[in-house]
């Protein structure tokens, strides 16, 4: 038996693990013996080889032969598929301009396409790239950059206090973060959890603040009110290193604790106690949380997290939150992407940038010079969350040619139909395309609507360099453990072939993925093979703390922008604020949130793996006993949860961790065993939460245009037997 050191990509947290190989196939995945990674593995990683060897795996390129979504496919070669795709894409670009080509990718691609997709799009002239990272980490990275020029990583090893805004890592959900938190607690670090539900982490916390869903920004305003009024902040830092402190303080005065208690539903004294603990028991950390990525006050909430870190003196100090910069010995994805190649005229066409610019080219333009000054590159695309188009605007253009037509849609490692808000619009958008290309491992509901499905390889089947999402200055190698089955090929290969079709070979000079990795590692003097043999993890030797004392922050003012000059220039409120919820509504008196990730699956994936599916066969809504009683819902009864945009069928699970009038809707359910094709989509029309998530302006964050998934008005309807 042979062993290979690989990086798991069965979720997006990227554990370093070991693959055991017999007769050219991975038979088992176990945890690494390196003490840094030893405890990091979950059931999804363990069952990954079964998932990849499953008969549902797509092994050959498929060309649609019937109507779109008819489920009639013909097997073709990669060469035939790519020639036809190339010809049709060139035609669409000729007729409608390169902006008529949109691409949607996911977290997977932050680790597996290395920025090559953006490179090809930028060279071809399309600014319309979207991704799940607009709802998860990427947008937080972009808003952090707007405030202090980089996205910090918490120093779990030395922190004294961890604050989780909703975020709830468990043994089988983002295991490395779960382990980091538990180790810190064992050392004596305090844990503060803000969650409407008594979550697993709330159970283990020193303080639990059961706030109303969607009110995180208001809570932060309350904390800052306590901290500034009681003088618990770092005055020296505020004076020397922040821009707009006095105006910010005035804004904070508008949110006395009593007002915040009313908005959030949390006792005023508990709010004070938590704020004091954060400010005086430091260094404290607020690890990035997807919860505030998915709210209509997202930009304010994220900026308030930034302000808390900065004003309490926790930025770039041991035990606080570190601004690590680029690893100087590897070519960063931000440089591979060649954003400079996209003309000003094409940038200006980026969809959504006029109304919701925060993470678009327009919103990030003012960071170019400061980023070069401080971090040595003009573009810093951390977690690929900057320079994106706005998803709802892209779907609008695809469905209604508004403001111009988008006619080609490429989807890589992403179940786009189900992974944004308003599935009805996304469905219409996809049906209205001339060319839909999906690079996938499985016949997802999105793939069922494609013209071409190209079979993707898996993380055990390719050599890979993980650059920590550009977030930390570390690089980890992942060895290829086996050959991909059938005709499965990597995203690298996909983009190489697209580049050839668009006549861009010169700017895509790498014939193989190894050559490309060697190019990225050149400054280390090692080839990928040598690098992988030598390192489990490679840290860059940059200065560790308070680098800003030498360079300033990478913002237009060189300071932490509590008052954002960027937002001001874009015509938005430069100070954080709280936008009140719409008043309760007689038709939809309950609220729902999507989330509480399933420990057995990653997002919309993995339901085909029997060992995992047995553990959680059906999509479950959670509700409290009192809410169930009021709505006449029995345990295990199937009901419809309806919002103004649609409804989903779910099995009721009455739980004592749920507060009243709040419903949990699970994300991403479809059943691979159910009938495929238009109108059915393997149960996506029954279960997919994207149907109940609205995307009208009331439910979009103003600055970013991302949808509100935490606190959507809804009701419960009985299902006919
Ligand atoms: N409505 C709604 N939308 C959401 C969310 C929500 O709660 N509700 N959550 C948001 C969040 S937090 C996230 S992270 C995103 C996640 O959105 P995505 O990143 O799109 O995640 P998945 O749903 O897992 O879809 C990934 C797809 O890639 C395929 N795949 C896996 N590995 C590979 C590979 O190596 N190569 C290729 N070619 N394909 C691969 C899988 O089979 C799967 O179909 O969704 C966001 N969107
Ligand atoms: N096994 C497994 N692990 C995963 C994933 C998976 O699909 N499966 N997905 C991964 C991904 S991409 C992500 S983004 C993370 C997400 O993982 P988490 O960050 O843990 O998010 P959730 O599990 O969706 O919800 C966490 C908590 O948020 C609370 N909550 C709901 N609404 C609000 C609100 O408005 N404010 C606050 N403060 N809390 C609220 C819920 O009650 C819940 O307890 O999980 C990752 N880990
Ligand atoms: S938490 Fe599980 S699925 Fe995610 S990377 Fe680690 S082993 Fe893989
Ligand atoms: Mo996520």
What's the pLDDT band for 584 if we cut at 50, 70, 90?
confident
CATH fold for domain 590-718: Barwin-like endoglucanases (2.40.40)
Residue ranges matching CATH 2.40.40.20 in the chain:
590-718
CA of 290 to the centre of ligand 4 (A): 6
Q: How far apart are the first and last CA of the chain?
A: 54
What's the pLDDT band for 582 if we cut at 50, 70, 90?
confident
At 41, list the tokens.
Answer: 């593995």
- Our answer on whether the CB atom of 594 is closer than 6 Å to any ligand 1 atom is yes
- Our answer on whether the CB atom of 417 is closer than 6 Å to any ligand 1 atom is no
Q: How far is it, in rounded angstroms, from Cα 590 to Cα 478?
A: 46
Residue nearest to atom 4 of ligand 2 (CA): 173
Q: What is the pLDDT of residues 467-499, one digit of tens each?
A: 999 898 899 999 999 999 999 999 999 999 999
So what's the pLDDT on residue 40?
Answer: 97
pTM over 0.75? The answer is yes
Q: What is the CATH number of domain 2-52?
A: 2.20.25.90
Q: What's the order of all strands across the beta sheet hosting 161-165?
A: 207-209, 190-194, 161-165, 284-285
Is the distance from CB of 18 to CB of 181 less than 8 angstroms? no
Q: Catalytic site residue 12?
A: yes
Average pLDDT over residues 24-30: 97
Q: How many Å is the Cα radius of gyration of the chain? A: 24
Residue nearest to atom 1 of ligand 2 (CA): 599
Residue ranges matching CATH 2.20.25.90 in the chain:
2-52
So what's the pLDDT on residue 540?
Answer: 77
Residue ranges matching CATH 3.40.50.740 in the chain:
85-134+326-469+489-534
CB atoms within 10 A of CB 381: 29
So what's the pLDDT on residue 19?
Answer: 98
Is the distance from CB of 182 to CB of 205 less than 8 angstroms? no
So what's the pLDDT on residue 109?
Answer: 56
Sign of the CA dihedral 195, 197, 202, 207? positive
- Our answer on whether the CB atom of 612 is closer than 6 Å to any ligand 3 atom is no
Sign of the CA dihedral 362, 366, 372, 375? negative
Q: What is the pLDDT of residues 226-246, one digit of tens each?
A: 999 999 999 999 999 999 999
So what's the pLDDT on residue 110?
Answer: 54
479: three-class secondary structure by DSSP: coil
Residue 537 has pLDDT above 60, yes or no: yes
Please enumerate in sequence order all residues whose Cβ is within 8 A of that of 443, keeping only pairs 6 or more positions apart, or say none: 56, 58, 453, 672, 676, 682
Phi, psi of 315 (to 5 degrees): -85, 125
| CATH class for the region spanning 153-322 | alpha beta
Quote the DSSP letter at residue 101: E
> How many Cα atoms occupy the beta-carbon half-sphere of 232 within 13 Å?
23
CA of 67 to the centre of ligand 4 (A): 33
- Our answer on whether the CB atom of 290 is closer than 6 Å to any ligand 1 atom is yes
| CATH class for the region spanning 85-134+326-469+489-534 | alpha beta
State which residues have CB under 5 angstroms from ligand 4, the bound ion: 136, 290
Residue ranges matching CATH 3.40.228.10 in the chain:
153-322
């Amino acid at each position: 038996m042979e062993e290979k050191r690989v990086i798991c990509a069965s979720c997006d947290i990227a554990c370093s693990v070991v693959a055991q190989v017999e007769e050219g196939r991975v038979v088992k995945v176990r945890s690494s013996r390196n003490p840094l990674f030893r405890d990091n593995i979950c059931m999804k990683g363990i069952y990954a080889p079964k998932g990849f060897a499953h008969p549902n795996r797509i092994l050959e390129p498929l060309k649609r032969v019937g109507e779109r979504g008819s489920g009639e496919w013909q097997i073709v070669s990669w060469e035939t598929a790519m020639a036809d795709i190339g010809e049709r894409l060139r035609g669409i670009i000729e007729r409608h301009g390169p902006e008529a080509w949109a691409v949607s990718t996911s977290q997977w691609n932050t680790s597996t396409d290395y920025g090559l997709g953006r490179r090809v799009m930028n060279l071809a002239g399309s600014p319309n790239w979207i991704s799940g990272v607009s709802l998860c980490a990427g947008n937080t990275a972009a808003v952090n950059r707007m405030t202090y020029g980089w996205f910090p990583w918490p120093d779990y090893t030395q922190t004294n206090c961890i604050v989780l805004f909703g975020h709830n890592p468990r043994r089988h959900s983002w295991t490395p973060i779960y382990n980091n938190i538990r180790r810190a607690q064992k050392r004596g670090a305090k844990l503060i959890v803000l969650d409407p539900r008594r979550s697993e982490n709330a159970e283990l916390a020193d303080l639990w603040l059961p706030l109303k869903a969607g009110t995180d920004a208001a809570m932060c305003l309350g904390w800052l009110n306590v901290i500034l009024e009681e003088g618990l902040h770092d005055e020296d830092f505020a004076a020397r290193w922040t821009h707009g402190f006095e105006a910010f303080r005035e804004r904070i005065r508008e949110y006395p604790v009593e007002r915040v208690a009313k908005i959030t539903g949390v006792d005023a004294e508990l709010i004070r106690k938590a704020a004091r603990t954060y400010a005086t028991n430091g260094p404290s950390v607020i690890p990035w949380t997807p919860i505030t990525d998915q709210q209509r006050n997202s930009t304010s909430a994220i900026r308030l997290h930034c302000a808390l870190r900065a004003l309490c003196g926790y930025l770039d100090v041991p035990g606080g939150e570190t601004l690590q910069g680029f690893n100087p010995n590897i070519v960063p994805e931000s440089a591979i992407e060649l954003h400079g190649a996209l003309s000003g005229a094409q940038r200006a066409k980026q969809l959504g940038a006029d109304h919701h610019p925060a993470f678009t080219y327009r919103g990030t333009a003012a960071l170019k010079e400061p980023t070069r000054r401080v971090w040595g590159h003009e573009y810093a695309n951390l977690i690929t969350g900057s320079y994106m188009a706005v998803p709802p605007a892209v779907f609008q253009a695809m469905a209604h040619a508004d403001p111009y037509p988008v006619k080609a849609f490429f989807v890589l490692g992403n179940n786009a139909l189900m992974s944004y808000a308003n599935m009805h619009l996304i469905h219409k958008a996809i049906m209205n395309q001339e060319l839909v290309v999906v690079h996938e491992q499985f016949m997802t509901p999105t793939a069922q609507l494609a013209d071409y499905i190209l079979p993707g390889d898996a993380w055990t089947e390719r050599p890979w360099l993980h650059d920590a999402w550009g977030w930390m200055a570390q690089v980890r190698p992942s060895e290829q453990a086996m050959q991909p089955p059938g005709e499965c090929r990597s995203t690298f290969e996909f983009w190489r072939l697209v580049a050839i079709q668009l006549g861009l070979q010169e700017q895509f000079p790498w014939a193989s993925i190894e050559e490309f990795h060697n190019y990225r590692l050149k400054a280390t003097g090692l080839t990928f093979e040598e690098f992988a043999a030598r390192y489990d993890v490679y840290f860059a030797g940059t200065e560790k703390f308070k680098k800003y004392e030498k360079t300033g922050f990478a913002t237009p003012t060189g300071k932490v922008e509590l008052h954002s000059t960027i937002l001001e220039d874009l015509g938005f409120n430069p100070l954080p604020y709280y936008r009140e919820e719409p008043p309760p509504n007689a038709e939809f008196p309950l609220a729902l949130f999507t989330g509480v990730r399933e420990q057995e699956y990653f997002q919309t994936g993995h339901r085909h793996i029997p060992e995992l599916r047995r553990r959680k066969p059906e999509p479950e809504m959670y509700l409290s006993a009192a809410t169930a009683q009021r709505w006449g819902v029995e345990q295990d009864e199937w009901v419809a949860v309806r919002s103004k945009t649609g409804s989903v069928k779910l099995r009721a699970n009455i739980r004592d961790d749920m507060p009243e009038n709040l419903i949990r809707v699970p994300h991403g359910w479809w059943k691979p065993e159910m009938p495929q094709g238009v109108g059915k989509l393997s149960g996506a029309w029954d279960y997919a939460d994207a149907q109940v998530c609205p995307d009208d302006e009331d439910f979009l964050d103003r600055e970013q245009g991302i949808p509100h998934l935490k606190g959507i008005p809804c009701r419960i309807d009985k299902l006919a037997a």
